[in-house]
Amino acid sequence: MPVGKRRSSLLRSPQFSSLVILIVLLAVFAIADANFLSPLNISNMMAFLPELGIIALGMTLLLTAGEFDLSVGAVFGLAPVVVMLLVQNGEASIGVALLAGLLLCVAIGAINGLIVTKIGISSFLVTLSMLLVVRGAALYITQGFPLKSWDQPGFFVTLLAGSFNVGSFRFYTSLWWFIGLSLLAIYVLRYAKLGNWISAIGSNRNAAVARGVPADAVKVWLFILTSVLAGLAGMISAFRISAASPVAGTGYELEVIAMVVVGGTALTGGRGTILGTIVGALMLRAIRNGIVLIGVPGLAYNIFVGVIILAMLILHALLQKNAARG
């Protein structure tokens, strides 16, 4: 492909248009309120970003394969709650409890994946039911009360929620997790054999199966991955704020899916972009943070967020149409 052609296709790609919008949004917020780019505010945004961002990485791969997961917000809540209960009841050390929590996430993801692929029920219905089961379980085992989280310093706390200063910025280790996992996800989706399979499955499952691609196994593993990432994000969050609440992560499933599709990944499968998802995660974070700073009344937040998401989706749809014609 000639360089000029490749460049123009990059310029027209969904992740690029998302990036442009992100920069515009950042500029608008920065001009409207000088505090937006202050070290404190940037540190704040960067503390939240990885927690939803990590889930969004798994969701991007899952969406690219043509499925999605509505139970991630509930898993985000349940995993740390289970970890803390195990520790508080003296049944396990913190390390073992974390492992048990992650294994629980593996089980939840596997159940989602097996029901979707082997019984053939849509992932919407399966994971919606799972959302209720998982959230219900979190509420039941805690009797609805938040638990005080592990707050003694140690290896795992540093690993998941340690913080460090860069100049006057304060970052959490979760940012490293997000960066590392993002690089891995980019590699898998764009450069690995597995990524080729994931895109093919979402684009035309029958075609992929006819070429010997194990479509169901790939999907089950992606459900597991997404669940595990949601659980990991929940643990990171619980450690950071030293509390595990059974209602933590409520509504995150939609926020995460919004990040992914705003970044340009197709809800219908086949076209996924991790770079787009990173841009999408930054964008939603910046919007939620920026509209507070510029003084939009709290109850009106979601109007803004919703309108911006819609605008982004319309933009992607128009670009897609254009590309198909051109």
Partner 1 sequence: MEVLRLQNLQKSFGSVRALKNASFALNEGEVVALLGDNGAGKSTLIKAISGVFPIDRGDIYVRGEKVSIRSTRDAMDLGIETIHQDTSLAPDLSIARNLFLGREPVKLKWLGVFAPLDLAKLRGAASALLKRVGISKKLDADALVSTLSGGERQSIAISRAMQFAAKVIILDEPTNNLGVEETHGVLRFVKEVRDAGHSVLLITHNIHHVFQVADRIIVMRRGEIVAEQTVADTDLLTVESIITGADMSALLKETRAK
Contact set with partner 1 (CB under 8 A): 1, 187-188, 191-194, 196-197, 199-200, 202-204, 206-213, 266, 270-271, 324
Positive or negative: CA dihedral 42, 242, 137, 177: positive
Q: How far is the CB of 223 from partner 1 (least distance, A)?
A: 16
User: Cβ distance 114 to 67 under 8 Å?
Assistant: no
Token pair of 90 as six digits: 């003296």
- Distances from the Cα of 13 to the Cα of 18, 256, 283, angstroms: 9, 21, 17
Start-to-end C-alpha separation, the chain = 16
Residue 145 DSSP code = P
Token pair of 229 as six digits: 């990432």
Nearer residue to partner 1 within complex by CB, 194 or 296: 194
User: Cβ distance 95 to 156 under 8 Å?
Assistant: yes
Q: How far is the CB of 187 from partner 1 (least distance, A)?
A: 8
Within 10 A of 19 (CB to CB), how many other CB atoms are there? 19
Long-range Cβ pairs for the range 38-46 (8 Å, 24+):
39/167, 39/168, 39/169, 39/170, 41/289, 41/293, 42/169, 43/169, 43/170, 43/171, 44/289, 45/285, 45/286, 45/289, 46/169, 46/171, 46/172, 46/175
Nearer residue to partner 1 within complex by CB, 166 or 324: 324
Q: How far is the CB of 107 from partner 1 (least distance, A)?
A: 22
Nearer residue to partner 1 within complex by CB, 139 or 188: 188
Q: Under DSSP, is residue 214 helix (H, G, I), strand (E, B) or coil?
A: coil
Q: How far is the CB of 263 from partner 1 (least distance, A)?
A: 16
Nearer residue to partner 1 within complex by CB, 22 or 65: 65
| Angstrom distance (rounded) from CA 233 to CA 305 | 22
Nearer residue to partner 1 within complex by CB, 34 or 184: 184
Q: How far is the CB of 1 from partner 1 (least distance, A)?
A: 5
Nearer residue to partner 1 within complex by CB, 16 or 197: 197
Stated length of the chain: 326
Q: How far is the CB of 88 from partner 1 (least distance, A)?
A: 38
Nearer residue to partner 1 within complex by CB, 92 or 209: 209
Q: Report the alpha-carbon angle 85-87-91, nearest 5.
A: 95
| Angstrom distance (rounded) from CA 82 to CA 105 | 11
Token pair of 34 as six digits: 């000088």
Q: How far is the CB of 64 from partner 1 (least distance, A)?
A: 9
Q: How far is the CB of 213 from partner 1 (least distance, A)?
A: 5
Nearer residue to partner 1 within complex by CB, 202 or 231: 202
User: Cβ distance 247 to 78 under 8 Å?
Assistant: no
Nearer residue to partner 1 within complex by CB, 178 or 197: 197
Residue 22, judged by CB atoms within 10 A of its CB (0-12, 13-18, 19+), counts as buried
Q: How far is the CB of 188 from partner 1 (least distance, A)?
A: 7
